[in-house]
Amino acid sequence: MSDEINKSEKASKAEESFKNKINRQALLSLGVCVHCGMCTESCHYFLATDDPKMAPAYKADQVRKLYKKYFDWTGRLLPKWVGGGELENEDDLKELQDIVFGSCTMCRRCSFSCPMGVDKALLMRTGRSILTEQGYAPQGVIDVSKDQWEVGNQMGVTDEDYLDTIEWLSDELKSELDDPNAEIPLDKPNCKILYAVNPREIKYDPRSLLAAAKIFYVAGESWTMPTKGWDNTNFGLFSGDNELGAHMGNLVFDAVERLNAEVLVTSECGHGYRATAWESPNWTKRKLNFPIYNFLETMVKYVKEGRIKLDPSLNPNSVTYHDPCNLGRSGGITEEPRYLLKRSVSNFKEMYPNRQDNYCCTGGGGAMSMSEYAKKRLESASVKADQLKNAGAKIVATACHNCIDGLNDLIKYYKLGMKTSLVGELVAEALVFDKMYVTPVPRVEEFKQTILVIDDEPDVVLFLTTFFNDNGFNTLSANDDTQAIKILEKEVPDIITLDLIMPGRSGLNFYNTLKTNEKFKNIPVVIVSGVNPDNPGQYDARKFVYEHSLPRPDGYIEKPVNKELLLMTVQKCLELKQN
Amino acid sequence: MQEFIMHELQYIALSIMAVVYIAKIFWILSFKPAVENTPSAGNKRKAITMSFFSIAMPWSMESSRKKWYKWVEFVILHIGITVAILASFFIPESPFLMTPGIILFFQIVLSLAFVVSIVRLGRRMFSPVNRLISHPDDYFSIFVTLLWFFLAFFAMPMDKSNWMFTGYFVLTAVLIAYVPFSKMSHYILWPFSRYYFGKHFGHRGTYPKTKPNY
């Protein structure tokens, strides 16, 4: 009786929710575990830390204890005998949050190593689900989910920004292909393919969308992107919120039906593909009259049909492939990327273990949006870092934007000196055009604009100013916020690149000042920042975006700087500003 | 009394087990299964078959590839359990089957299973991970199994004057009645669990392990 009184309302509700969520598969995964520990060494969190509390069976037990207490026949009478337990208060909820969100990427590697067939990711997601309902989830997950509910995409990209970006990319495509008819079609009815992307491709890194557009162009594909329902990602998968999952699925499915497309193709995004192709039809309970493919499958089809030709010598660097968990273990796509890479790069090196046994990039399960767990994530990445190092390749290719971010973070953290690329980008690089490929010439006249470079490292300032000058920009530079403000008092630049990690909190403070000042708030700001080695999550891109109630930066480039991406981002910001 | 223990008591225990198991199967089936609302991308039938047989294919899972000794332990333990169960039927119902050769074979298996049980109990007690994930039921189950193997070993010669002979049958009855309420009932859940594992991942084409087809 006293237990009932002491139990917090949220804890009670979480338990009630748990009781209502158990289906047959979950019941079996909860009940069949014999605590043999065979799953232990399959988890990168455990392998990196040797912490028994990172063993998948232990983590699953933190959810399982509710099953033992409320479902297990013996546990109902003698809960302690079988490991039953309750959620008593907010501390218990927070502790469970740290486990199901902060110590597991739901990669399912342990599920494939379990002799009993326990799907621990299913249990983790159930745990996430009951916590999210009570508001216990990392802030990033809550914010992104809110954006998906309210704006319809995970990065809160407005319709105007989306249309401007697509228009700008179409211009880039025309210029690169030297064809005024080349375009990224929008809302074109009766096309063969409706292409749904990851908002990261719109907001921060449009190279993959441009690569896809080139491939569609060369293949002569009839395709379109929708103006509504273009986000293939789905945080319902990560938060355990099936309603959000259904909402996002419906947006995309409605777009396909509205535009009468024959096929839905999702861009290279592991969880986006899994959510759209496999989970959303279940969440929405819709019987779809169109098939759903991943862009990898589409590219394979083009190669097989001879619609695109590839020259591997155009990608001379050694390339290895990282299997995204949601494609390899949960999506059934492992051979397509290899088929493409073997034809697109001259030196493909397999990574071991691979396919269904591959290690997670450590950024899966929404981990990239959980900055509070960034340190733990990067520590657990030592296993992946060793795997990458042993692969001995210069480029890690993958087919997931989330993996790209996760891999980039760990590559920087462990100083591996590797680059990352999406498979489609390498395929686009290897495309053989019937007519001469035209390398874009920097549009000097068009972009004789001024960039203010703010960075506390003189070498970086020199590098960036030289780079921008070489590409036809005027530059100003400052080493801290005080200098920057003095410059702004005299001259208003067209765009600013800003390092967040400068002595004290000057980068963040400066951004605050800038964005709350009427005169300066419309200057586009591209954050050019790195990882703080002492506190990896401190100025993490996701943390910055999700945790500060400030306008989002117009671009976010992580160091070491990718020149192509930086130039593209700056050009995009300037064009959008002009529009 | 001994006759009662060897016969009626066993039947009572077996009846309890059967009733509880049947009830448990109905209970499992009372939970709605999640249903895939998409066309299958793989071979579900093959995947389900593979899922069941994965237990006999230690090479198919990384865990048993790397910890092959644990797989060997698993095999010995479960053969030991099978032998101990068979003996509990052979001795009272068909003692003629207990030839010296069979007795020797059973005793070898039981002694190996006993050793494996000690190793497993030790692992639960001393390995930090296993200790952390173990609950009283886990310790009790392995301990009672260990004791069962011990008593079964000495019961094999069928010397009814030996207290361990009677002890073996008493413990067999206790175990039979207790198993459905303990973690040892995992073998009732296991076929369902492996079935759904194979069905789910087979549907998505990720299981069995993909082989290059390009």
Question: Which pLDDT tens digit goes with each residue over B53-90?
Answer: 999 999 999 999 999 999 999 999 999 999 999 999 99
> Under a CB-based contact definition with an 8 Å cutoff, are residues B47 and B198 in contact?
yes
Average pLDDT over residues B100-128: 98
pLDDT at B155 over 80: yes
Under an 8 A CB cutoff, do B209 and A28 touch?
no
User: Which residues on A lie below 8 Å from B209 (Cβ)?
Assistant: 355-356
> Is the full-model pTM beyond 0.90?
no
Domains, chain B, in order of start with CATH, read: 2-34+57-203 (1.20.950.20)
Which of A133-137, A208-212, A486-490, B112-116 comes out lowest in average pLDDT?
A486-490
| Residue among A20, A22, A36 with most chain B CBs within 10 A, to mutate | A36
And the tokens for A234?
A: 């789905």
Out of A28, A58, A332, whose CB is closest to B132?
A58
| Other Cβ atoms closer than 10 A to A9 | 9
Here the tokens at position A345 are 């790069």
Cis peptide before B208 (omega within 30 of 0): yes
Minimal Cβ distance to A115: which of B64, B181, B210: B64
Listing DSSP states for A378-438 in one string gives HHHTHHHHHHHHHHT-SEEEES-HHHHHHHHHHHHHTT---EEEEHHHHHHHTBPPSSPPP
A180 confidence band (pLDDT: 50, 70, 90)? very high
Q: Which residues of B, range 2-31, sit inside 8 Å of A by Cβ?
A: 24, 28-29, 31
What is the spatial distance between Cα A276 and Cα A266, in angstroms, rounded to a whole number?
Answer: 8
Model pLDDT, residue A442: 45
- Biggest alpha carbon distance in chain A? 80
Contact B210 A29 (CB under 8 A): no
For range A220-232, the mean pLDDT: 97
Q: Is the peptide bond before A560 cis (omega within 30 degrees of 0)?
A: yes
pLDDT of residue A110: 97
Contact check, Cβ <8 Å, B210/A356 = yes
Tokens describing residue A523: 């200057």
The model's confidence at residue A537, banded by pLDDT at 50, 70 and 90, is low
Give which of A179, A193, A133 is closest to A12, Cα–Cα.
A133
**Matching residue, tokens 């970086």:** A460
Higher-pLDDT residue of A544, A294: A294
Query: pLDDT value at position A521?
Result: 83
Tokens 């009672």 correspond to B144
Task: Answer yes or no: is pLDDT of A441 > 90.
Answer: no
**Tens-digit pLDDT profile for residues A284-298:** 999 999 999 999 999
**Residue in A23, A28, A42 nearest the CB of B62:** A42
**CB B133 to CB A117 under 8 A?**
no
Distance CA A545, CA A555 (A): 11
Query: Distance (Å, rounded) from C-alpha A69 to C-alpha A83?
Result: 8
Which of B29, B67, B206 comes nearest A329 by C-beta? B206
Give yes or no for B125 touching A (CB within 8 A): no
Residue A117 sits at the chain B interface (C-beta within 8 Å):
yes
pLDDT greater than 90 at residue A448? no
Q: pLDDT band for position A436 (50/70/90)? A: very low
A27-55 mean pLDDT: 97
What is the pLDDT, as a whole number, of residue B193? 97
Task: Give the mean pLDDT of chain B.
Answer: 94
pLDDT one-digit tens code per residue, A326-384: 999 999 999 999 999 999 999 999 999 999 999 999 999 999 999 999 999 999 999 99
pLDDT at A563: 82
A227 to chain B, minimum CA–CA distance in Å? 26
Token duo for residue B117: 């049980």
pLDDT at A531: 62
Q: What is the pLDDT of residue A405?
A: 94
- pLDDT level of residue A516 (50, 70, 90 thresholds): confident
- Beta partners for A264? A194, A292
Q: Mean pLDDT, chain A, as a whole number?
A: 91
Q: Do B196 and A25 touch (CB under 8 A)?
A: yes
From residue B59, how far is each of A271, B49, B50, B55, B66 by CA, in Å?
29, 16, 12, 10, 9
ipTM of the complex: 0.94
Total beta-carbon pairs less than 8 A apart between chain A and chain B: 172
Test the B interface: residue of A22, A24, A107 with most B CBs within 10 Å: A24
Touching check for A260 and chain B: CB below 8 Å?
Answer: no
**What is the CATH topology of the domain spanning A450-578?**
Rossmann fold (3.40.50)
Q: Between chains, do B193 and A339 touch, taking CB under 8 Å as contact?
A: no
User: Which pLDDT does position B149 carry in this prediction?
Assistant: 98
A546 pLDDT tier (thresholds 50, 70, 90): low
Task: List the single range of A194-198, A366-370, B42-46, B209-213 with lowest mean pLDDT.
Answer: B209-213
**Could you say which of B129, B132, B209 has the minimum Cβ distance to residue A356?**
B209
Cβ burial, residue A532 (10 Å; 0-12/13-18/19+): middle
Task: Please identify which residue in the block is written with the tokens 């579900």.
Answer: B44
- Predicted pLDDT at B73: 98
Exposed e or buried b per residue across A218-243, where buried means at least 16 C-beta atoms within 10 angstroms of its C-beta: bbebebbbbebbbbbbbbbbbbbbbe
- Are B133 and A35 an interchain contact pair (Cβ–Cβ within 8 Å)? yes
Which sign does the torsion angle of CA A127, A128, A132, A135 carry?
positive
CA dist., res. A498 & res. A211, Å (int): 28
- Residues in chain A with CB shorter than 8 Å from the CB of B35 are 282
More confident residue, A505 or A53: A53
Any idea which of A38-42, A335-339, A524-528, B109-113 has the lowest mean pLDDT? Answer: A524-528
- Judge whether residue A444 has pLDDT over 60: no
Select from A27, A68, A78, A282 the residue whose CB has the most chain B CBs within 10 Å, as the one to mutate to test that interface: A27
Specify the pLDDT at position A254: 98
DSSP summary character for residue A137: S
Interface of B with A in 76-115 (CB under 8 A): none
The beta strands (E) that lie in A13-85 are given as none
Q: In angstroms, what separates the C-alpha of B183 from chain A's closest C-alpha?
A: 6
Residue in A25, A74, A82 nearest the CB of B34: A25
The residue type of A236 is G
Following CA atoms A169, A170, A174, A175 in sequence, which dihedral angle do they give, to the nearest 10 degrees? Answer: -20
Return the minimum-mean-pLDDT range out of A373-387, A490-504, A524-538, B30-44: A524-538
In chain B, the residue whose alpha carbon lies closest to the alpha carbon of A114 is: B63
Q: Do A24 and B66 touch (CB under 8 A)?
A: no
CB atoms inside a 10 Å sphere around CB A3: 8
Instruction: Check if A437 contacts B (Cβ < 8 Å).
Output: no
Q: What is the pLDDT of residue A382?
A: 97
**Does the CB of B126 have a partner CB in chain A at under 8 Å?**
no
SS3 A578: helix
What residue type is assigned to position B169 of the chain?
Answer: F
Strands A223-224 and A193-196, sheet pairing: parallel
Sign of the alpha-carbon torsion through A90, A95, A98, A104: negative
Secondary structure of B41-90 in the HEC alphabet? CCCHHHHHHHHHHHHHCHHHCHHHHHCHHHHHHHHHHHHHHHHHHHHHHH
Are A332 and B205 an interchain contact pair (Cβ–Cβ within 8 Å)?
A: yes
The verdict on A126 touching B (C-beta cutoff 8 Å) is no
Chain A hits for B189, CB-CB cut-off 8 Å, are: 28, 31-32
B32 vs A: CB within 8 A: yes
- How many angstroms separate the CA atoms of A240 and B202, rounded? 23
Backbone phi, psi, residue A186, to 5°: -120, 130
Domain ranges of chain A: 2-137, 140-433, 450-578
B209 to chain A, any CB pair closer than 8 A? The answer is yes
User: What is the CATH architecture assignment of A2-137?
Assistant: Orthogonal Bundle (1.10)
Q: Assess B38–A contact: CB distance below 8 Å, yes or no.
A: yes
Confidence at residue A120, expressed as pLDDT on a 0 to 100 scale: 97
Which chain A positions have a beta carbon within 8 Å of B127's beta carbon? Answer: 37
pLDDT at B169 over 90: yes
Note the pLDDT of residue A508. Answer: 76
Question: Which pLDDT score, from 0 to 100, does residue A443 have?
Answer: 45
DSSP secondary structure string, B11-45?
HHHHHHHHHHHHHHHHHHHTSPPP---S--SS-HH
In chain A, residues with a C-beta closer than 8 Å to the C-beta of B138 are 34-35
CA A513 to chain centre: 29
Weakest mean pLDDT among A288-292, A462-466, A536-540, B178-182: A536-540
Lookup: tokens for A528: 């050019």
How far apart, in Å, are the Cα atoms of A398 and each of A19, A468, B46, B207? Answer: 38, 30, 29, 21
Determine the residue of chain A that is closest to B28 in CA distance: A24
pLDDT of A545 over the 90 cut: no
* Mean pLDDT to the nearest integer, A525-532: 78
- Give how far B205 is from chain A: nearest CA, Å: 5
